[in-house]
Structure 1
Amino acid sequence: MTGSAEVVAWQPAVPGLTEVLHARFTDHAYPSHTHDAWTLLLVDDGAVRYDLDRHAHGASRSVVTLLPPGVPHDGRSEFAGGFRKRVLYLETEILGTHRVGRAVDRPEFADDVLRDRVSRLHGALTPHSEDLEAQSRLAFVLERLRQHLDRQVTVPAAVRDSRVADALRELLDARLVDGVDLAAAAARSGVTPTHLVRAFTSRVGLPPHRYLTGRRIDLARRLLLDGMPAAEVATAAGFYDQAHLTRHFRRMLATTPAAYARSARRPAGTAFPRGSAEG
């Protein structure tokens, strides 16, 4: 049976992810099929009943669902109102084929920490993703998934590693515009991506992607005050486009890049209306 659907899908420029899918189905039912990727599923409304390897399962808001590659499954709404879901497709190698059997045995995880991590990753995966933020959030999702599949879920220990934190900070400063590949940076320091992010956050006081965005905003401000047009400043400062720059500029300074640039052309002493506070 095929019913109405609302579907948005794209391929993110994030290593390890092959596709992002956000969808709402009313009365659609999936026939039995397989994927060549791990399917990481969040149900936001309703519930889904499915068979995996001929065994019945259910997906709802209370669990995170992980369907392994190459294993037949179907899907249908449990209730008349349909369901809404967010899905990430992960490359097979990212979790390893040796974990497929474990996911067949237990494809659902009732874990609020994992659900929050996956949801935050979706928030970072706009069609023009913040590369470093998405890479960081994916690393923490994968860490938790591997722990569940290996039956070794633990509370992470505090990480204090000034050597790798300072090395990443130097790398971010040197590659302000081009950005940094998190996995490569971690391998360069001989640590895991999650160790690197935790070490940096502990040392600097904010995560690497937020540090990088702040430094890019600083560069954009200098370029704007030098007279460069806002549309050119965006790419020159490492942002995807002008809208991307404007979104972060507003968040940081509560104004637009164009308005910030115009402020430099006001006569001296007229930056604030009479009676206003500079605050």
Structure 2
Amino acid sequence: MTPRPEISAWRPPVAGVVEVFHAHFTEHAYPMHVHDSWTLLIVDDGAIRYDLDRFERATPRETVSLLPPQVPHNGSPATPHGFRKRVIYLDMTQLDERFIGPAVDGPDLTDPVLRRRVGQLHTALADPGDEFEAESRLALISERLREHLRPSPTFGAARPGLGTRTEAGTGTGTRTSIAQSLRDLLDERLLEGIALAEAARLVHAHPVHLVRAFSGAFGIAPHQYLMSRRVSLARRLLLDGQPAGDVATAAGFYDQSHLTRHFKRIVGTTPGRYAGAGGKAA
């Protein structure tokens, strides 16, 4: 019998923090997905193997990992007993888009001081009434992350948001433009969705070419991108206190079972357990 994952999630009243997420997984593997926010990750036990921008990486206990928003990644246990992790999701007020490219190139930071500060921030975020301490620690962490990344004046423009790798050969610019147009459509139609045939008509591309262009440019299939964006929205709504039964339609899913299926694949637990009592589940 697969051990039940241990999970807690909440949104503290601290500016810049979108969500705090603690989890212990033994077998769960994350599929390719994206987040709307920065993922600041430390592993307390075991290790995680993941792909980011099509390079395989790992998160040993000594490192701090910073995964940028809108760049696809996955994750799976790198040890037989799984992994225990703590995550803080940060909004763009802490690190703007200029830092995305450097973070893609070097997401795993070996910095004992940063590691200690992130652990201290988690402790402060778990204690109601310590918001001022948490804000102070977050300010120091954001400053140290910026020192690590140090983007050049033009670096951020080279890699805006979701990865920008393209297929080799002629027509690369056209493929990138098509992929970006589809991404814009998916973002605009996040809740109501869009049929592939309609998207192809609006972008002026064959449906098969449209899917291949998106997957080739961004390293994630269009449907995976759409579902992960919807799951991110569902997480925010659940932490806002909305009932799990209402979140499905509010986040663009067909029904509760549709939400549960995709939520469990990406988050590793069901929406109901994730929400728990007051936003915490175990």
The equivalent of 1:140 in structure 2 is: 140
Q: 1:129 to 1:64 in 2, by over 3 A?
A: farther
Distance 1:112 1:69 in 2: 24
Q: What is the CA deviation profile of residues 134-182 of structure 1, one whole-angstrom value per residue up to 9, with x for unaligned ones? A: 1001111111101001179xxxxxxxxxxxxxxxxxxxxxxxxxxxxxx
Q: What is the CA deviation profile of residues 45-87 of structure 1, one whole-angstrom value per residue up to 9, with x for unaligned ones? A: 0000000011100001111000000000000000110100000
The equivalent of 1:83 in structure 2 is: 83
Unaligned runs of 5+ in 2: 153-282
The equivalent of 1:29 in structure 2 is: 29
Asked if the contact 2:37–2:92 (Cα under 8 Å) also holds between the matched residues in 1, the reply is yes
The equivalent of 1:49 in structure 2 is: 49
2:4 maps to 1:4: yes
Root-mean-square deviation (CA), in Å? Answer: 1.6
Pairs within 5 Å for 1:1-279: 4-126=4-126, 128-150=128-150
Distance 2:86 2:55 in 1: 23
Larger Rg: 1
Q: Percent identity?
A: 54
Distance 1:130 1:113 in 2: 21
Q: 1:111 to 1:121 in 2, by over 3 A?
A: same
Distance 1:63 1:30 in 2: 20
Q: 1:23 to 1:93 in 2, by over 3 A?
A: same
User: Secondary structure of the residue that 2:38 maps to in structure 1?
Assistant: strand
The equivalent of 2:184 in structure 1 is: none
Distance 2:127 2:75 in 1: 26
Asked if the contact 2:42–2:86 (Cα under 8 Å) also holds between the matched residues in 1, the reply is yes
Q: 1:23 to 1:86 in 2, by over 3 A?
A: same
User: Secondary structure of the residue that 2:87 maps to in structure 1?
Assistant: strand
- CA drift of 1:127 comes to 5.5
| Amino acid paired to 1:83 | F
Q: 1:129 to 1:58 in 2, by over 3 A?
A: farther
Distance 2:149 2:54 in 1: 20
User: Secondary structure of the residue that 1:95 maps to in structure 2?
Assistant: coil
Q: 1:129 to 1:145 in 2, by over 3 A?
A: farther
Asked if the contact 2:98–2:151 (Cα under 8 Å) also holds between the matched residues in 1, the reply is no
Runs of 4+ in 1 over 6 A off after TM superposition: none
Distance 1:3 1:50 in 2: 22
- CA drift of 1:92 comes to 2.0
TM-score normalised according to structure 1 size: 0.52
Distance 1:104 1:96 in 2: 14
The equivalent of 1:168 in structure 2 is: none
- CA drift of 1:111 comes to 0.3
- Count of matched residue positions in the alignment of Structure 1 and Structure 2: 151
Asked if the contact 1:3–1:28 (Cα under 8 Å) also holds between the matched residues in 2, the reply is no
Unaligned runs of 5+ in 1: 153-279
Distance 2:3 2:100 in 1: 31
